[in-house]
Copies of this chain bind each other. A is one copy, B any other.
Amino acid sequence: MTRLYDDPASFAEDMVEGFVAANPGYVRQVPGGVVRSRRARRGKVAVVTGGGSGHYPAFCGVVGPGFADGAVIGNIFTSPSAEDAYSVGRAADNGAGVVFSFGNYAGDNMNFGLAVERLEREGIRAHNVVVTDDVASAPAEEHAKRRGVVGDFVVFKVASAAAEEGYSFDEVVRVAEHANDRTRSLGVAFDGCTLPGQDHPLFEVPAGRMGLGLGIHGEPGVSERDMPSASELAKILVDGLLAEAPETGGTPRVAAILNGLGATKYEELFVVWRTASRLLAEAGVEVVAPEVGELVTSLDMAGCSLTLTWLDDELERLWQAPVDTPAYRKGTVSQPETDESDVDEELRAPAERVTVVAPAEGQATAAVVVKALHTVADALRDAEDELGRLDAIAGDGDHGRGMTRGSSAAVAAADEAAAQGVGPAAVLLAAGDAWAAKAGGTSGALWGAALRSFGDLLPDHREATGGDLAAGAAAALATVQRLGRAEPGDKTLVDAMVPFVSELRAAIDSGAGGAQAWQQAAEAAAKAAERTAELRPRTGRARPLAERSVGTPDPGATSFALVMGRIGEVLAANTAA
């Protein structure tokens, strides 16, 4: 279990501070993560890795010459926010664009996706390469749905080496995607890990048993079986990957990583590698520069995985290329050609937001928005423990804290924006950005984006009508579904949001006032949220206990209904006044 921490709530921040203190020659801290302390040469494509933390050396441990230009660092096992990814990407850019690469998880896809959009809006080329190497997480014909695990390391390494060699932006993306197509991983777990400050492990594997294909955050695997011997395990892993070997032609050559998850130690890995290396040789597969050790961990989880990347000459050269980073060093790296003094500081300055003062009507609507946000934040703070309790049944228990952090930050940002005289769209833009940045994770990104989408449809120059509210709600729903890829029935906030939006539209269309329609819609959302207790989650991360959640309403749907209810009260009070 994780025993050493000061404040569990700031564990990731404290970790980054200590990491930077230990490695000042390699990295410096920027909002959202770290970048190289000595910038690469101008014109080199920047490669930025990232994801939730708790996986060291992945991913901040591999920032340095020959490897990543920066790493975006989320909370433990939680996607960083879009703001974090944007901030690190911007700081890492050397003037030739940013290739983000990360494992395939809903929250990361969403937040890095938003960061790419924002960087491109500012004229910085950006693209995401999503790693999908875990053969146990989806069938071969649905390769794109697979999770990213230790294959991350190979894809990042290859993309980084290509960028270091001077590949163009498109070529870095091409070779990274090519490496991902050629990479397969299969993992096993013997026991779970415990998050800082928690009493119970995130998941458990019964003593003497092994979960085959169990994900690095405890996601469901393929099967459970008795603990094998080291040789038997080697055979399971090698056979499982060779069965999925891509077509390459000629004698297969592979890069190989036998990775320990934290509590399964080097000595054990070497005993497994003894047989795995023999089996690969017997299968006619040549192993190039294998790595046996801890490259992508999950705190002190017990387990290991094997990753193979089928090489061609280009991939082999990039896999073998020199690297000099805090946690991973290989060969001899030539000294960087430039340093901080060459940096185009203009590229580093955060973009300023333009303030447009709104007419009185817009300011009046903005005032209602601010009031509603205050009420929502107060309600979420009161409900924090209960929401956390609901989330702990099938997740990591941080939903209540995330909603409190997000809504509190949104209130502060909204107050500040409103004080400058802007309209509701600008207030909700500021509030949404702040919510996403501070809450982190999937729900933070969704709430932030939903607020911005909703705000976009509120007018500055006249009072908002019921029709504006219904259109805004529909836009917010579309955004949430686009980013979160959840359908009704998946046991997410979409299950409460869909009936809310249709009831709001129906009530407005049948002549109800905005406040009244909103309240009816909020009631529909509350009932729908309760009904999510009957569902079982279909997708998502860190949900080994999904079955347990049957009988408990979804925390995201519950908090959505709570927020809509409180907004309804504010609208009613405002209409009455």
Residue numbers of A with Cβ under 8 A of B are 2-6, 11, 14-19, 21-22, 53-54, 56-57, 61, 76, 190, 227, 229-231, 233, 258, 262-275, 277-278, 290-294, 297, 299-300, 302, 304, 327, 329-330, 332-333
Chain B contacts for A302, CB-based, 8 A: 3, 300
Chain B contacts for A300, CB-based, 8 A: 263-265, 300, 302
Chain B contacts for A291, CB-based, 8 A: 22
How many whole Å from A50's CB to the nearest CB in chain B?
Answer: 15
| Residue of A227, A300, A327, A329 most packed against chain B (CB within 10 A) | A300
Chain B contacts for A5, CB-based, 8 A: 229-230, 268, 271
On whether the beta carbons of A18 and B271 are closer than 8 Å, the reply is yes
On whether the beta carbons of A230 and B271 are closer than 8 Å, the reply is no
How many whole Å from A3's CB to the nearest CB in chain B?
Answer: 5
**A268 and chain B: residue at smallest CB distance:** B4
The 4 A-B pairs of least Cβ separation, nearest first, read A18-B270, A18-B274, A4-B268, A329-B329
A273 to B19, CA, bound (A): 8
A327 to B278, CA, bound (A): 22
A233 to B5, CA, bound (A): 10
- The verdict on A22 contacting B277 (CB below 8 Å), with A15-B267, A263-B300, A265-B300 known, is yes
How many whole Å from A198's CB to the nearest CB in chain B?
Answer: 14
**A328 and chain B: residue at smallest CB distance:** B329
On whether the beta carbons of B262 and A265 are closer than 8 Å, the reply is yes
Chain B contacts for A53, CB-based, 8 A: 267
How many whole Å from A97's CB to the nearest CB in chain B?
Answer: 30
How many whole Å from A329's CB to the nearest CB in chain B?
Answer: 4
On whether the beta carbons of B231 and A270 are closer than 8 Å, the reply is no
Q: Which residue of B15, B16, B270, B275 contacts A15 across the interface (Cβ within 8 Å)?
A: B270
On whether the beta carbons of B267 and A299 are closer than 8 Å, the reply is yes
Please name 15 pairs of A and B residues whose Cβ atoms are closer than 8 Å in the assembled complex, sorted by A.
A2-B267, A6-B229, A11-B267, A14-B274, A15-B270, A16-B270, A18-B275, A19-B292, A21-B278, A22-B273, A22-B277, A22-B291, A265-B300, A266-B297, A332-B333
How many whole Å from A306's CB to the nearest CB in chain B?
Answer: 13
A278 to B22, CA, bound (A): 11
A227 to B76, CA, bound (A): 22
On whether the beta carbons of B270 and A19 are closer than 8 Å, the reply is yes
Chain B contacts for A258, CB-based, 8 A: 22
On whether the beta carbons of A271 and B4 are closer than 8 Å, the reply is yes
Beyond contacts A5-B230, A14-B270, A16-B270: 20 other A-B pairs, Cβ-Cβ < 8 A, are: A4-B271, A5-B229, A6-B230, A6-B231, A11-B267, A14-B230, A17-B270, A18-B274, A19-B292, A21-B273, A21-B277, A22-B258, A22-B277, A22-B292, A54-B267, A56-B267, A56-B270, A61-B266, A300-B302, A329-B330
A278 to B295, CA, bound (A): 28
A6 to B276, CA, bound (A): 13
How many whole Å from A152's CB to the nearest CB in chain B?
Answer: 16
A277 to B21, CA, bound (A): 7
Chain B contacts for A292, CB-based, 8 A: 18-19, 22
**A272 and chain B: residue at smallest CB distance:** B4
A87 to B61, CA, bound (A): 38
A290 to B267, CA, bound (A): 25
**A207 and chain B: residue at smallest CB distance:** B1
How many whole Å from A547's CB to the nearest CB in chain B?
Answer: 26
On whether the beta carbons of B18 and A265 are closer than 8 Å, the reply is no
On whether the beta carbons of B6 and A268 are closer than 8 Å, the reply is no
A48 to B117, CA, bound (A): 56
On whether the beta carbons of B3 and A268 are closer than 8 Å, the reply is yes
Q: Which residue of B230, B294, B327 contacts A4 across the interface (Cβ within 8 Å)?
A: B230
On whether the beta carbons of B266 and A56 are closer than 8 Å, the reply is yes
How many whole Å from A465's CB to the nearest CB in chain B?
Answer: 51
**A21 and chain B: residue at smallest CB distance:** B277
